[in-house]
Amino acid sequence: MSTTPLKIAIQKSGRLFEESLKILKDCGISIDNGHDQLKVRARNFPLEVMYLRNGDIPKYLRDGVADIGIIGENLLIEKGEELEIVERLGFSKCRVSLAIPKEQELNGLGDLEGKRIATSYPNTVNRFLEQEGINAELHMISGSVEIAPNIGLADAIVDIVSSGSTLFKNNLKEVSTILESEAVLATSPQIGSAQRELLAKLLFRLRSVLKARDSRYVLLNAPNEKVDAIIKILPGMRSPTVLPLAEEGWSSLHTVIEKDKFWQIIDELKAQGAEGILVCPIEKMVL
Q: Which long-range contacts (CB under 8 A, 24 or more apart) does 125-130 make?
A: 125/158, 125/178, 128/158, 128/178
Distance of CA 14 to the CA centre of its chain: 15
Pick the closest to residue 252 from 208, 219, 209, 285 (CA basis).
219
Intra-chain end-to-end CA distance of the chain, in Å: 32
Distances (CA, A) of 16 to 62, 113, 116, 266: 20, 35, 30, 34
> Tell me, what's the pLDDT at 32?
78
Q: pLDDT digit of tens for each residue in the chain (287 aa)? A: 457 899 999 998 888 999 999 999 999 999 877 557 789 999 999 999 999 998 899 999 999 999 999 999 999 999 877 899 999 999 999 999 999 999 999 889 999 999 999 999 999 999 999 999 999 999 998 878 999 998 999 999 999 998 888 899 999 999 999 999 999 999 999 999 999 999 999 999 999 999 999 999 999 999 999 999 999 888 756 678 999 999 999 999 999 988 888 888 888 899 999 999 999 999 888 87
> Tell me, what's the pLDDT at 68?
98
Dist. CA 74–CA 227, nearest whole Å: 47
Say whether 52 sits in a helix, a strand or coil.
strand
CB of 125 within 8 A of CB of 117? Answer: yes
Pick the closest to residue 157 from 109, 102, 107, 118 (CA basis).
118
* Beta carbons within 10 angstroms of residue 70's beta carbon: 25
> Tell me, what's the pLDDT at 1?
41
Pick the closest to residue 154 from 146, 162, 166 (CA basis).
146
DSSP lists the bridge partners of residue 39 as 50
Query: In CATH, what class is 215-281?
Result: alpha beta
Dist. CA 81–CA 62, nearest whole Å: 10
DSSP 105: -
Map out the domains of the chain as residue ranges.
6-90+183-212, 94-181, 215-281
User: H helices of the chain, where?
Assistant: 17-26, 57-62, 73-79, 122-132, 165-169, 193-213, 227-233, 262-271
CB of 205 within 8 A of CB of 234? Answer: no
DSSP lists the bridge partners of residue 223 as 250
> Tell me, what's the pLDDT at 37?
78
Dist. CA 90–CA 182, nearest whole Å: 6
Dist. CA 140–CA 154, nearest whole Å: 11
Environment class of 96 (CB within 10 Å of its CB; exposed 0-12, middle 13-18, buried 19+): buried
CATH number given to 94-181: 3.40.190.10
DSSP lists the bridge partners of residue 100 as 173
Same fold, 6-90+183-212 and 94-181: yes
> Tell me, what's the pLDDT at 85?
96
Dist. CA 187–CA 279, nearest whole Å: 36
Architecture of domain 6-90+183-212: 3-Layer(aba) Sandwich (3.40)
Dist. CA 167–CA 165, nearest whole Å: 5
